[in-house]
């Protein structure tokens, strides 16, 4: 093809050159065997904390002779790139821990199995897959544990990617106004988890709790809300079949019992005498309707816990039989704890009789559609201003001891801290660091509660791109990771170093004891580099040929 470069084209090209660099974020690695190792690309979130952890890591890698190009990206951009298109070389990012991930299946299978939906490292090991899939279909807990242990042993050998440390939930609470405030294990005091809010008791005449966070909720729509806060807020109003209590035990909730009949069949026994917020009774028809409706409309954000369900049928006037497409240990731990009971008399009109084409477009907060059977009633949802729920005393638990909760989305940490000092905000749910928390707790009447969670700072590696396809090289990188320094310096101690496992340390019953956390050792890293074939020439590192 003959191309004529016109003067305009030349000028356009020349102008594009300074722009081309920032746009093409995925630099060609230019890895050539036998030549000097080029700088590795490491992308990260741009918040100060993640950048600082990345920086600490890069300093250690430079001691080994490994040069790194650090490229922080805007949040939405890196999310789309790494979690969306799975286009990564290496990346230091955060991984949230909402209730839907409180099961080893997410970490073991979704991330590291070759067909896992979250397989960012592009890791593919058939031996690993066997155990990863077996644990999901396992019929006893012991069998499952064995499979998960085996999978982790293979992981520990391969190290396709690794977490750095966790992030504690930091909750300052005004204890002069409220007592009996006990954070949930693994989640702390935040909207993700309803359990603690049923126990909180007012001490004075202030009977409604004002909790603030800087993290944004989008909407209160049960189907479309994607933030963890928002989904937690929805669970205040709607009941689920099972629920996690404060010690993370799975307890019966709207379902009195969930029995496993065989590997793909479960029977749900509905609790009697439950009422909807508008006074009507909860019947088995609502349960049947919920399953049918969800299977019909398939809200995309519910797919992870709905797609394993094939159908349901009514058994009596209090039970429903659910059939799965294939055995899934996550049915009990995730699906039953996430699927909320929908009132038939409200949602059967949607969407045909309310003038929209799909239930996802209907706004229940403005159409009296937020009728649930949960311990709190919907009062108001004004994003950025106030999201308010009030106590539902007719709840089968007797209702909460609070009269209501104002869930305030603050614009800045300043607002939250100032609000707590002034006594207008009674609790900070999320968004504050340990250092500010400690300063706040120095005030009389304010106590600081910290909870270990499963939220990770995680280091992702694409194991198909050289030199990361070299296992010994990955081990070298792993041993250069200063987990303790990250915990001390950057997170101020409000963190736990990750173990040599994909699972967060709080899931300790699922992690073999011999997989430890304290593995930072530059000498060991050097040895692995040599084993990988890299030779040190002065200040340069030569790749193996």
Partner 1 sequence: MGWSRYIARRIVENLLLVLFLVVAMFVLFRLAPGDPVATIVSPELSPQARQQIMDEWGLSGSLFTQFVRYLQGVLTLDFGQSFAYRRSVWDILSEKFANTIVLVIPSVTIGAACGLWLGLRAGMSPHGWSDRVSLWLPPILRGVPPFWLGILLLMLFSYGLGWFPIGGMRTLGAPDRTFADRFLTLDFLRHLALPVLCLAITSLPEPILLMRQSVRGVLRDDYISYLGLRGLPASNFRRHVFWNSSLPVVTWFFHMFGYTLSTSVVIEIVFAWPGLGREMANAVLSYDYPLAQGCFFLIATIVIMLNFILDLIYPLIDPRIARPAEVTA
Partner 2 sequence: MSTIQQSTIVSGLSRKGIAPPSFIGALGVIGAFVLAALLAPLVLGDDPFANHFIPGGGLARYQWPSPAFPFGTNVYGQDVFQQTMLGAQRTLVIGFVSGAIIMIIATLIGVVSGYFGGLTDAVLMRITDFFYAIPFLPFSLIFVHFFGTSLSSVCAAIGLIFWRTGARVVRSVVLSLRERQYVKAAKAAGAGPIWIMRYHIIPGVAGIALLYGVFGAAWAILTEATLSFIGLSDPTAISWGLMLNQAFANGAIRFAWWWVVPPGVSLTLLLGALFLLARSIEGAVDRRLAD
Report what 311 binds from partner 2, partner 1, none; CB cut-off 5-8 Å by kind: none
* Part in contact with partner 2 (CB under 8 A); list of ranges 46-54, 91-99, 123-131, 150-158: 46-54
Give the Cα separation of 322 and 304 in Å (integer): 17
Report what 109 binds from partner 2, partner 1, none; CB cut-off 5-8 Å by kind: none
Signed CA dihedral, 36, 37, 41, 42: sign only:
negative
Give the Cα separation of 102 and 369 in Å (integer): 29
Report what 81 binds from partner 2, partner 1, none; CB cut-off 5-8 Å by kind: partner 1
Looking at the Cβ atoms of 147 and 410, the one nearer to partner 1 is 410
Name the phi and psi angles at 515, rounded to 5: -95, 100
* Listed residue (204, 163, 203) closest to 496, CA to CA: 163
The yes or no reply on residue 81 touching partner 1 (CB under 8 A) is yes
Report what 541 binds from partner 2, partner 1, none; CB cut-off 5-8 Å by kind: none
**Count of positions (residues) in the chain:** 545
* Listed residue (104, 126, 131, 99) closest to 114, CA to CA: 126
* Part in contact with partner 1 (CB under 8 A); list of ranges 327-335, 380-388, 436-444, 506-514: 380-388
The yes or no reply on residue 415 touching partner 1 (CB under 8 A) is yes
Within 10 A of 524 (CB to CB), how many other CB atoms are there? 15
Among 27, 31, 67, 72, binds partner 2 (CB under 8 A): 72
The yes or no reply on residue 418 touching partner 1 (CB under 8 A) is yes
Among 201, 247, 414, 518, binds partner 2 (CB under 8 A): 414
Beta carbon of residue 178, minimum distance to partner 2 (angstroms, whole number): 23
Looking at the Cβ atoms of 278 and 414, the one nearer to partner 1 is 414
Q: Which helix (H) or strand (E) holds 132?
A: helix 126-137
The yes or no reply on residue 52 touching partner 2 (CB under 8 A) is yes
Q: Work out the burial of residue 417: count CB atoms within 10 Å of its CB; fewer than 13 is exposed, 13-18 middle, 19 or more buried.
A: buried
Here's the x/- map for partner 2, 153-172, by CB under 8 A: it reads as: --------------------
First to last CA, the chain: 37
* Listed residue (192, 197, 184) closest to 228, CA to CA: 192
Beta carbon of residue 284, minimum distance to partner 1 (angstroms, whole number): 29
161-194 CB burial, b ≥16 within 10 A, e <16: bbbbbbbbbbbbbbbebbeebebbbbbbbbbbbb
Give the Cα separation of 479 and 63 in Å (integer): 12
The yes or no reply on residue 85 touching partner 2 (CB under 8 A) is no
The yes or no reply on residue 204 touching partner 1 (CB under 8 A) is no
Looking at the Cβ atoms of 52 and 531, the one nearer to partner 2 is 52
What would the two tokens of residue 122 be?
């592009």
Q: Work out the burial of residue 264: count CB atoms within 10 Å of its CB; fewer than 13 is exposed, 13-18 middle, 19 or more buried.
A: middle
Among 27, 51, 250, 332, binds partner 2 (CB under 8 A): 51
Q: Work out the burial of residue 544: count CB atoms within 10 Å of its CB; fewer than 13 is exposed, 13-18 middle, 19 or more buried.
A: middle
Beta carbon of residue 464, minimum distance to partner 2 (angstroms, whole number): 26
Report what 490 binds from partner 1, partner 2, none; CB cut-off 5-8 Å by kind: partner 2
The yes or no reply on residue 79 touching partner 2 (CB under 8 A) is no
Beta carbon of residue 283, minimum distance to partner 2 (angstroms, whole number): 51
Residue 78 in contact with residue 87, Cβ under 8 Å?
no
Contact positions with partner 1 (CB under 8 A) in 57-76: 74-76
Beta carbon of residue 489, minimum distance to partner 2 (angstroms, whole number): 6
* Part in contact with partner 1 (CB under 8 A); list of ranges 47-55, 110-118, 155-163, 238-246: 110-118
What would the two tokens of residue 206 be?
């202030």
Here's the x/- map for partner 2, 480-509, by CB under 8 A: it reads as: --------xxx-x-----------------
The yes or no reply on residue 358 touching partner 1 (CB under 8 A) is yes
Residue 56 in contact with residue 38, Cβ under 8 Å?
no
∠ CA 213-217-223 to the nearest 5 degrees?
A: 145
Here's the x/- map for partner 1, 15-54, by CB under 8 A: it reads as: --------x-x-----------------------------
The yes or no reply on residue 512 touching partner 1 (CB under 8 A) is no
Looking at the Cβ atoms of 18 and 279, the one nearer to partner 2 is 18
Q: Which helix (H) or strand (E) holds 313?
A: strand 309-314
Give the Cα separation of 509 and 248 in Å (integer): 13
By CB under 8 A, name the binding residues for partner 1: 23, 25, 74-77, 79-81, 83-86, 110, 117-118, 120, 210, 212, 216, 218-219, 221, 224, 226, 298, 300-301, 303-304, 307, 358, 360-361, 363, 383-386, 406, 408, 410-412, 414-415, 418-419, 424-425
């Amino acid at each position: 093809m003959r191309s004529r470069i016109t003067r305009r084209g030349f000028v356009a090209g020349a102008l594009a050159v300074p722009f081309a660099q920032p746009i093409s974020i995925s630099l060609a690695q230019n890895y050539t065997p036998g030549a000097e190792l080029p700088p590795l690309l490491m992308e990260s979130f741009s918040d100060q904390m993640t950048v600082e952890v990345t920086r600490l890591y890069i300093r250690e890698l430079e001691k080994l002779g490994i040069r790194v190009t650090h490229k922080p990206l805007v949040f939405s951009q890196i999310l789309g790139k790494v979690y969306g298109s799975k286009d990564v070389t290496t990346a230091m990012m955060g991984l949230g821990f909402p209730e839907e991930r409180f099961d080893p299946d997410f970490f073991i299978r979704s991330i590291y199995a070759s067909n896992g939906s979250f397989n960012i490292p592009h890791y593919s090991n058939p031996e690993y897959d066997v155990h990863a899939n077996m644990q999901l279909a396992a019929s006893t807990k012991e069998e499952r544990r064995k499979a998960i242990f085996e999978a982790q042993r293979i992981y520990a050998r391969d190290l396709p990617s690794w977490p750095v440390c966790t992030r504690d939930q930091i909750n300052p609470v005004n204890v002069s106004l409220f007592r009996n405030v006990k954070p949930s294990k693994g989640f702390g005091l935040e909207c993700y988890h309803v359990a603690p809010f049923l126990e909180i008791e007012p001490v004075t005449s202030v009977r409604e709790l004002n909790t603030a966070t800087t993290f944004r909720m989008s909407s209160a729509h049960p189907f479309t809300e994607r933030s963890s806060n928002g989904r937690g807020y929805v669970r205040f109003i709607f009941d689920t079949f099972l629920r996690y209590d404060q010690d993370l035990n799975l307890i019966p909730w709207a379902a009195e019992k969930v029995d496993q009949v065989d590997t793909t069949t479960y029977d749900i026994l509905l609790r009697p005498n439950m009422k909807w917020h508008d006074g009507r009774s909860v019947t088995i028809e609502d349960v049947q309707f919920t399953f049918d409706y969800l299977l019909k409309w398939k809200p995309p954000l519910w797919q992870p816990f709905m797609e394993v369900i094939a159908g349901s049928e009514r058994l009596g006037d209090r039970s429903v039989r659910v059939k799965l497409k294939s055995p899934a240990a996550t049915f009990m731990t995730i699906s039953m704890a996430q699927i909320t009971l929908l009132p038939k008399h409200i949602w059967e009109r949607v969407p045909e009789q309310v003038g929209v084409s799909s239930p996802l477009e209907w706004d229940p907060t403005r159409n009296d559609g937020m009728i649930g059977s949960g311990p709190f009633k919907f009062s108001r949802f004004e994003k950025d201003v106030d999201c308010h729920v009030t106590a539902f005393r007719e709840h089968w638990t007797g209702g909460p001891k609070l009269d209501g909760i104002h869930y305030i989305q603050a614009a800045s940490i300043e607002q939250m801290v100032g609000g707590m000092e002034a006594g207008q905000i009674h609790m900070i749910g999320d968004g504050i660091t340990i250092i500010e928390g400690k300063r706040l707790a120095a005030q009389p009447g304010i106590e600081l509660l910290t909870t270990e969670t499963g939220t990770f700072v995680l280091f992702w590696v694409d194991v198909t791109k050289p030199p990361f396809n070299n296992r010994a090289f990955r081990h070298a990188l792993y041993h250069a990771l200063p987990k303790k320094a990250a915990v001390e310096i950057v997170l101020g101690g409000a963190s736990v170093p990750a173990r040599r496992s994909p699972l967060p340390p709080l899931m300790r019953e699922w992690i073999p004891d011999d997989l430890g956390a304290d593995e930072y050792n530059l000498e060991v890293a050097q040895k692995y580099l040599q084993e990988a074939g890299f030779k040190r020439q002065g200040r340069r590192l030569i790749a193996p040929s």
